[in-house]
């Protein structure tokens, strides 16, 4: 890691030396050349202005836990520099043209310098008004310079920049280069690539400002430091794109986590209704049966009370499992057979219905534990409905294979109901339908007045899993 940091810092130094060398070569080859091209210059400055404003938006909208003080000052520098460069791009050649360029450099350099001078951990900045103050101040300043060009100090004389213009840019250059060195040291300590990128941006800006002192309007050095700044803005755009991609990735991960939480909440709601509530209801039916027969068959009451206590203990175990996140017991193969048999026994003891159960071991082995849990909850809801509403004397439960598919069927001889008249199915029927969708299965409820009810769930063979 230290070697890679040292290598990047050598790249940092090589970039500085090569930039100065290329600028000196351009200037020495044709010192008298003047490439006056206002549209090209305006395009370069407009691109820089756009990139600076985009960077400001990115820095101001970093997440609070990552929004350190030095990022605020960098964002403020980019915001003010971007606005003033926009005015500079629109202005024609003249004193205002150069003055806006100098002011933009000084504002940007001030932001970088403050990022170094202010300890981000001791002076965090969270004010929502701060970006507006910087932005409005830059807009007012730029508008004033454009509206009153006669009030602008002299920035060029006899083809050369004045002492004031050179001094402003040298000051900006010193601030940029100082910030570049400080950020490079921070990178050496932390290894954070974001800091290294900002140090490279500050270096290119600083070199451009230093070359301003040796250039004249439209000469080779003048154009070269413009392209140095353009290179810095390409780094800015790269940082913005990288940050945007990271933000999109974080949003997608947050979205996935939200959907997982919603799915888990829906699953828990279904399980509590189909498992806990139905089990408690079955125990209540059993206790009601005890009250009915306590006078006529007192010898059966003790057994039914013992069964009710055992069932309540199972309910307590299941509730603890939901609280602690315990993995569900196996509902595949023999586990599913045992669970269905136990459920039928509980429902038989809870009421006066007689239940016949047939479970094909091969069919039970074709489902996973998760699929078996859905099958068991659907069966529990259907049996509970028979006990509560059907006034049936007997019922039948069958789990078997049907042309490779797993078929779960429940049928009772109760009073039935008109299925077309059920406009808004209850919570239980909705849960049954939702579980069937998760299984990729078809659920059919057939009934009619006086014809009993039959519930058939078909899990297609491509969704089932062979046990061996």
Which pLDDT belongs to residue 9? 61
Which pLDDT belongs to residue 455? 93
Which pLDDT belongs to residue 33? 77
Higher pLDDT residue, 441 or 132? 441
Q: What is the CB neighbour count within 10 angstroms for residue 87?
A: 23
Check if the beta carbon of residue 422 is closer than 8 Å to that of residue 446.
no
115-121 contacts at long range (C-beta below 8 A, 24 or more positions apart): 115/69, 115/70, 115/71, 115/73, 115/74, 115/77, 115/179, 116/70, 116/178, 116/179, 116/182, 116/183, 118/69, 118/70, 118/73, 119/69, 120/68, 120/69, 120/70, 120/71, 121/68, 121/69
Check if the beta carbon of residue 406 is closer than 8 Å to that of residue 439.
no
Confidence of residue 64 (pLDDT cuts 50, 70, 90): very low
Kindly report which listed range (99-113, 223-237, 291-305, 323-337) carries the lowest average pLDDT score. Answer: 323-337
Query: Quick one: DSSP state of residue 149?
Result: G
Which pLDDT belongs to residue 169? 92
E strand or H helix at 250: helix 220-271
Which pLDDT belongs to residue 458? 92
Beta-bridge mates of residue 407: 400, 458
pLDDT at 5 over 70: no
5-16 b/e (C-beta count within 10 Å ≥ 16 → b): beebbeebeebb
CATH 3.30.565.10 intervals, the chain = 258-459
In CATH terms, the fold of domain 2-257 is: Rhopdopsin 7-helix transmembrane proteins (1.20.1070)
**Average confidence (pLDDT) over 411-417:** 88
Confidence of residue 44 (pLDDT cuts 50, 70, 90): confident
pLDDT at 119 over 90: no
pLDDT tens for residues 196-214?
888 888 888 888 888 888 8
Distances from the Cα of 106 to the Cα of 99, 101, 165, 202, 412, angstroms: 11, 9, 11, 13, 86
pLDDT at 67 over 60: no
Confidence of residue 423 (pLDDT cuts 50, 70, 90): low
Confidence of residue 141 (pLDDT cuts 50, 70, 90): very high
E strand or H helix at 147: helix 130-147
User: Could you tell me the pTM of the whole model?
Assistant: 0.56
d(CA 345, CA 230): 80
Q: What is the CB neighbour count within 10 angstroms for residue 463?
A: 15
> What does pLDDT average to over the chain?
80
CATH 1.20.1070 intervals, the chain = 2-257
d(CA 184, CA 235): 16
> Considering only CA atoms, which of 462, 76, 350, 19 is closest in space to residue 209?
19
In CATH terms, the fold of domain 258-459 is: Heat Shock Protein 90 (3.30.565)
Which pLDDT belongs to residue 66? 47
Cβ-in-10-Å burial (0-12, 13-18, 19+) of 28 comes to exposed
pLDDT tens for residues 236-287?
877 777 777 777 777 788 787 877 777 777 667 666 666 666 677 667 767 7
């Amino acid at each position: 890691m230290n070697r890679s940091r040292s290598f990047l810092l050598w790249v940092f130094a090589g970039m500085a030396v090569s930039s100065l060398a290329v600028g000196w070569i351009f200037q020495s080859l044709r010192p008298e050349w003047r490439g006056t091209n206002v549209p090209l210059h305006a395009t370069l400055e407009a691109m820089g202005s756009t990139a600076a404003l985009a960077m400001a938006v990115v820095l101001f909208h970093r997440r609070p836990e990552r929004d350190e003080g030095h990022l605020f000052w960098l964002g403020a520098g980019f915001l003010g520099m971007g606005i003033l460069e926009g005015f500079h791009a629109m202005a024609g050649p003249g004193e205002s043209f150069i003055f806006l360029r100098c002011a933009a450099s000084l504002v940007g350099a001030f932001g970088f310098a403050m990022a170094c001078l202010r300890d981000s951990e001791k002076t965090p900045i969270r004010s929502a008004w701060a970006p507006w103050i910087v932005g409005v101040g830059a807009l007012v300043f730029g508008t004033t310079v454009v509206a009153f060009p006669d009030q602008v100090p002299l920035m060029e004389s006899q083809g050369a920049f004045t002492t004031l213009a050179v001094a402003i840019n040298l000051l900006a250059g010193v601030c940029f280069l100082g910030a570049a060195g400080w950020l490079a040291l921070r990178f050496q300590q932390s290894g954070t690539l974001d800091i290294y990128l900002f140090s490279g941006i500050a270096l290119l800006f600083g070199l451009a400002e230093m070359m301003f002192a040796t250039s004249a309007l439209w000469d080779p050095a003048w154009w070269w430091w413009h392209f140095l700044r353009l290179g810095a803005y390409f780094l800015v755009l790269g940082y913005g794109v990288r940050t945007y991609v990271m933000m999109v990735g974080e949003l997608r991960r947050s979205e996935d986590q939200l959907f997982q939480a919603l799915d888990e909440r829906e699953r828990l709601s279904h399980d509590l209704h189909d498992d806990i509530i139905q089990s408690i209801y079955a125990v209540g039916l059993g206790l009601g049966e005890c009250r009915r027969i306590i006078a006529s068959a007192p010898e059966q009451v003790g057994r039914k009370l013992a069964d009710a206590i055992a069932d309540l203990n199972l309910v307590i175990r299941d509730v603890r499992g939901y609280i602690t996140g315990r993995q569900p017991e196996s509902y595949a193969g023999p586990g599913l057979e045992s669970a269905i048999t136990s459920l039928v026994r509980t429902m038989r003891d809870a009421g006066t219905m007689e239940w016949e159960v047939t479970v094909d071991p091969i069919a039970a082995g074709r489902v996973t534990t998760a699929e078996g849990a859905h099958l068991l909850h659907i069966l529990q809801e259907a049996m509970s409905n028979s006990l509560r509403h059907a006034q049936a004397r007997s019922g039948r439960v069958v789990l078997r294979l049907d042309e490779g598919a797993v078929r779960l069927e429940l049928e009772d001889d109760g009073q039935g109901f008109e299925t077309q008249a059920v406009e808004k199915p209850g919570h239980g029927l909705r849960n049954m339908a939702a579980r069937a969708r998760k299984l990729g299965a078809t659920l059919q409820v057939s009934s009619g007045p006086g014809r009993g009810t039959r519930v058939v769930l078909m899990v297609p063979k491509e969704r089932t899993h062979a046990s061996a």
